[in-house]
Structure 1
């Protein structure tokens, strides 16, 4: 909590820069490649925001939110049922999509519905964060497994990675269950800091 993720990333980059100079491994090729990759990633995220803004505007203008609201109300769900439905949808979206697309494009669809069910947005956000981490670990897609395969030695198979991830998935599911049963686990710090 001492710094934002962007500030921490900037300090990490600066630290890496200083270490590269200190160990005599710094060169202009490395700097150019790092700047290029940084610009490429930043541009990708910016275009995601542009796309999500266009999607949100078109969705609102075409009455998409009203259709979703009417559909959810027609199901006559309790807050618990709505929470489970939203978490299942987000979990399934976590297989093929990155977390940025889900948060930027799909989360704004759910947020207006939270007030109807008297669900704390912060509590919902905590559940979504844990849920997405679990989705990235779970087969059949398991984005995290493919990232890990890219940096692991050649003799390590995807099946071994999947098997190794199962205990972590179980811990994540248990953490989601605990957070749902005892919301104060995740809400005590914000309530302490912001007096909520």
Structure 2
């Protein structure tokens, strides 16, 4: 039954849209359809015999240990109000400039997005902290909302990012499958560090583009992004306060990312440094207590359990999909597609963009990417470039009305006086910036591949 892989994929998407837990939707739906397929003689049950080894491989994967550590780091920075202190100090620094508060939100949101890697947490946190301040200082509601939503989605691309860690693990397996399909037996693989380095230039370009847009808007429409009314005296006391609030969090981020880029530490080791450093910062700022530590650990456990259960559910889905011959059908479809690898890449990007309206990045990473990535890599597409394109594509999808997740998260914490239409209008320029980055990367892949080649050779 050639249509069974399509039935499986559509059924999983429908169950997820109904709101059932992701991990159990993936595994349960796949096993039910596999059972019917086995009875009908269209499913080879031998594929499921590999499931125990798959689960053991997931739980013993040293790279994935970085996930709970980075999650702990992000939640600790959020719960200990370090992000709020950082935003306050950045706002004091840039506040005297028109658009300065918006630029401060972008910079602090970039650091928060990188540390948590979870769009919902970043948008909600920045919405609670910065949206009232921006509205109080006379910012245009649509500009303030769009700025916060766009900044929150930077967690997809700014390293160290949980999304890039998960993509790195999936693309590593896909790269090995692609090599085996071409009869190549090589120990080369795609590391998380490769994706981190590859994401640096595109991620920083996005941040700079956001800041330029904010500055241009403030110049063109001064009333939309005015300077802060309350300006502190620029004396030594203010300088000490500013440095005390800025240097420790920035030093932590640089220590984590720098240790990875220089090869001093693996992503997992750097994640441990980040988790310990965030705890020390909370202690220094007097924000660490046993109840707060318990709250951070509970949050880390919930997020980590969710992610690893999705890993297992995605493994079941992948095995059942291959048991129905879905990977072979997708490969045949891509090979017959006009435009070769360019046409195949365009279709994959469109599908991922549309799925981003209904699925989170974790589901897409472990449901869609393992299906399409081995085929695209076997067609000659660079794995680092592919990973960065997928990350920015998802970032754009999560920002696009009317279904973008970031819009829903901000709507949930925004005051009722802020209309939803203002949020939708505010994100449009940022969507254009991100689409422009995708187009730029399409024509200049070296933006993602040059730095990894330069560092790792």
TM over 0.5: yes
Judge conservation of contact 2:393–2:438 (CA < 8 Å) in 1: yes
1:1-196 alignment to 2 at 5 Å? Answer: 1-2=257-258, 3=260, 10-195=272-457
Identify which range, 77-86 or 125-134, moves more after superposition: 77-86
Judge conservation of contact 2:385–2:449 (CA < 8 Å) in 1: yes
1:79-109 deviations in Å (ceiling 9; x for gaps): 2211111110110011111111111111011
Larger radius of gyration: 2
- Counterpart of 1:137 in 2: which secondary structure? coil
Judge conservation of contact 2:402–2:424 (CA < 8 Å) in 1: no
Shift of 1:62: 2.1
Distance 1:76 1:178, change over 3 A: closer
Compute the TM-score of the two structures, normalised by the length of structure 1.
0.87
In 2, Cα distance between equivalents of 1:79 and 1:122: 16
Distance 1:179 1:15, change over 3 A: same
What runs of 5+ residues in structure 2 fail to find an aligned partner? 1-256, 261-265
- Counterpart of 1:130 in 2: which secondary structure? helix
Compute the TM-score of the two structures, normalised by the length of structure 2.
0.40
Distance 1:159 1:48, change over 3 A: same
Shift of 1:7: 5.5
1:144-168 deviations in Å (ceiling 9; x for gaps): 1122233434433332222221111
Shift of 1:10: 4.6
Shift of 1:48: 0.8
In 2, Cα distance between equivalents of 1:113 and 1:63: 14
Q: With CA pairs under 8 Å and 6+ residues apart, which has the higher RCO, 1 or 2?
A: 2
In 2, Cα distance between equivalents of 1:49 and 1:189: 30
In angstroms, what is the RMSD of aligned CA positions?
Answer: 2.2
- Counterpart of 1:140 in 2: which secondary structure? coil
- Counterpart of 1:175 in 2: which secondary structure? helix
- Counterpart of 1:118 in 2: which secondary structure? coil
In 1, Cα distance between equivalents of 2:281 and 2:451: 35
Shift of 1:28: 2.6
Distance 1:154 1:34, change over 3 A: farther
Distance 1:161 1:11, change over 3 A: farther
In 2, Cα distance between equivalents of 1:150 and 1:113: 39
Judge conservation of contact 2:344–2:376 (CA < 8 Å) in 1: no
Distance 1:98 1:174, change over 3 A: same
In 2, Cα distance between equivalents of 1:43 and 1:65: 28
Shift of 1:115: 4.0
In 2, Cα distance between equivalents of 1:141 and 1:53: 27
What runs of 5+ residues in structure 1 fail to find an aligned partner? none
In 1, Cα distance between equivalents of 2:354 and 2:309: 24
In 1, Cα distance between equivalents of 2:400 and 2:425: 10
Aligned length: 195
Distance 1:60 1:17, change over 3 A: same
In 2, Cα distance between equivalents of 1:44 and 1:147: 19
